[in-house]
Amino acid sequence: AAELLARRGPVLVKRLLIDELKIPFARAGRGMIDFTEEAAHSVPRIIHVEDLTGRAIGLAMLAAMRRERRITVVEGASAVDLLTLSHHSHDPIDAYEPPTCFGAFVLLRDRREVVPIVAGETVLATGGLGRLFLHTTNPNGARGDGLAMAYRAGARTLNLEYIQFHPTALYHPDADRFLISEAVRGEGGELIRRDGTAFMKRYHRRGSLAPRDVVARAIHEEMLQTASECVFLDITHRPADWVRGRFPHIHARCLEFGIDITKQPIPVVPAAHYSCGGVAVDLEGRTSIRRLRAVGEVACTGLHGANRLASTSLLEGLVWGTQAGESIARWLARERRSLRVPRIEPWRAEQEPIDPALILQDWLTIKHTMWNYVGLVRTTKRMKRALALLRELQLEIEEFYARARLTDPILGLRNGCQAALAVTYAALQNRVSRGCHYRVD
């Protein structure tokens, strides 16, 4: 995986991101692309668009997708479950076929209707699962939906216990846990206590540039030792104009909450950020289920091992997305005529309304359970308690899911609980502390 990334990554960045999508990466002297250094890297090798690289790439790709007439975008829809021969075919002979996916059941939210969408190849690109935790930098949709659907379909998963916690999310009572980029530390930002004392050298020789898991646990430990709600990230020693130019978005967001990062240290806490594991895939995104692929954070390519290196996830998505797309095009050119779709029974719709207070409370149970028992620091007792709580909750959720009027919130809750159970079980099974899976027992 690492060899593929190193070989194809630079070529695809140049061809797709720079030449084709015209993404405005930051430039240094003489118009050369600017490279910055982030935690655990040995040299400056990260290209960036100010402090919003992911957003810039995502918006450019969305715009390109909407211009492509061969792509049909279905908005206001939620995937319910994967269509597989073993679960949805009524032909007895399919019981002898290898596990195979042929599309998905999809909820069209405006019409309140579940329809099958059949495909020669199905690709999961559903993102991560940070919303399972109380504090996260992830968007609202990061509920583990793709992982849960693949898990129910019987796909092999890998390394689910390795949840990376970003060390520095903005801590403010009125703000979501907005990510304070690793690049702030890469450019000289120092982690300090409320009294101004730097502390990271006590935990790692590289200080504030230590790997993410080390920094996150160090902050966690400092907060416990000092009974503090947060620590602080100080970049005030750099010139104010330089800070505003290098981190315009972070500067603007913090100003919204009365924090001028050119004059004040930033209050920060760790937050769930990235899932290093996921649905196991090969170098072309194939899962253990035929005709089902996965790319991006929902997938586990093996590249990240037990602890992702900063800023490699965007590159991984670019490389494996291209690999999967090229492979699918070749496969369909050979096999399109031989594709067979079994008879699919219509979705049986139930109509019982679900009290939104129940959904809200169940989500709070999942988030607090995962944060307290399967978070930065884990023990056997904590994880066993999490497993017991989540299993009981899953039984209740499946009971009312079976009779509920299907909505996106109930889908998300079902998938979130399933994903939380999968992560907890994987963490309990792995008795070795490594990377971002840390057990004190």
Active-site residue (options: 177, 212, 217, 293): 212
Confidence category of residue 349, pLDDT binned at 50, 70, 90: confident
For 395, half-sphere exposure in the C-beta direction (CA atoms, 13 angstrom radius) is 5
**Cα–Cα distance measured from residue 89 to residue 192, given in angstroms and rounded to the nearest whole number:** 59
pLDDT exceeds cutoff 90 at 182: no
Q: Which among 165, 375, 185, 376 is positioned nearest to 266, based on CA atoms?
A: 185
Mean pLDDT of 118-142: 95
Model confidence at 358: pLDDT above 90: yes
Q: What is d(CA 413, CA 431) in angstroms, rounded to the nearest whole number? A: 29
User: Is there a catalytic annotation at residue 212?
Assistant: yes
Instruction: Report the percent of the chain where pLDDT is more than 90.
Output: 80
Model pLDDT, residue 113? 94
Q: Which residues pair with 434 in a beta bridge?
A: 437
Residue 354 confidence (pLDDT) above 90:
no
pLDDT at res. 310: 83
The pLDDT of 229-247, averaged and rounded, is: 96
Return the top range by mean pLDDT from 41-45, 315-319, 329-333: 315-319
Averaged pLDDT, 344-352: 87
Which CA distances in Å does 73 have to 66, 135, 368, 407?
8, 32, 35, 20
For residues 59 and 53, give the distance between their C-alpha atoms in angstroms, rounded to a whole number: 10
Neighbouring residues of 359: CB distance < 8 A, sequence distance ≥ 6: 409, 410, 413
Q: What sign results for the dihedral spanned by CA atoms 128, 134, 136, 141?
A: positive
**Residue 39 pLDDT greater than 80, yes or no:** no
pLDDT band for 37, please (50, 70, 90 cuts): confident
- The dihedrals phi and psi of 378, each to the nearest 5 degrees, come to -120, 150
Q: What per-residue confidence (pLDDT) applies to 139?
A: 92
CA dist list (Å): 11 to 21, 64, 201, 216, 319: 14, 19, 38, 33, 10
Three-state SS sequence of the chain:
CHHHHHHHHHHHHHHHHHHHCCCCCCECHHHCECCECCCCCCCCCECCCCCCHHHHHHHHHHHHHHHCCCCCCCCCEEEEEEEEHHHHCCCHHHHHCCCEEEEEEEEECCCCEEEEEECCCEEECCCCCHHHCCCECCCCCCCCHHHHHHHHHCCCEECCCCEEEEEEEECCCCCCCCECCHHHHHCCCEEECCCCCECHHHCCCCHHHCCHHHHHHHHHHHHHHHCCCCEEEECCCCCHHHHHHHCHHHHHHHHHCCCCCCCCCEEEEEEEEEECCEEECCCCCECCCECEEECHHHEECCCCCCCCCCCCHHHHHHHHHHHHHHHHHHHHHHHHHHCCCCCCCCCCCCCECCCHHHHHHHHHHHHHHHHHHCCCCECHHHHHHHHHHHHHHHHHHHHHHCCECCCHHHHHHHHHHHHHHHHHHHHHHCCCCECCECECC
Beta bridge partners of 352: 404
Supply the pLDDT for residue 96. Answer: 81
Q: How confident is the model at residue 232 (pLDDT cuts 50, 70, 90)?
A: very high
Neighbours of 22 (CB within 10 A): 9
Task: Name the residue with higher pLDDT: 3 or 350.
Answer: 3
pLDDT at 95 over 80: no
Asked if 150 contacts 275 with a C-beta cutoff of 8 angstroms, the reply is: no
Over residues 131-169, the pLDDT tens digits come to: 999 989 999 999 999 999 999 999 999 999 999 999 999
Q: Which domains are delineated in the chain?
A: 18-67 (no CATH), 165-273 (3.90.700.10)
Antiparallel, parallel or unpaired: β 292-294 and 163-170: unpaired
Query: Cα–Cα distance between 333 and 297 in angstroms, integer?
Result: 28
What is the band of 336 on the pLDDT scale with cuts at 50, 70, 90? confident
Residues paired with 290 in a beta bridge = 100
Q: What is the rounded average pLDDT of the residues 40-57? A: 88
Q: How confident is the model at residue 94 (pLDDT cuts 50, 70, 90)?
A: confident
Mean pLDDT of the chain: 94
The pLDDT value recorded for residue 183 is 87
User: How much is the average pLDDT of 302-331?
Assistant: 95
pLDDT category at 393 given cuts 50, 70, 90 is: very high
**Is the CB of residue 165 less than 8 Å from the CB of residue 216?**
yes
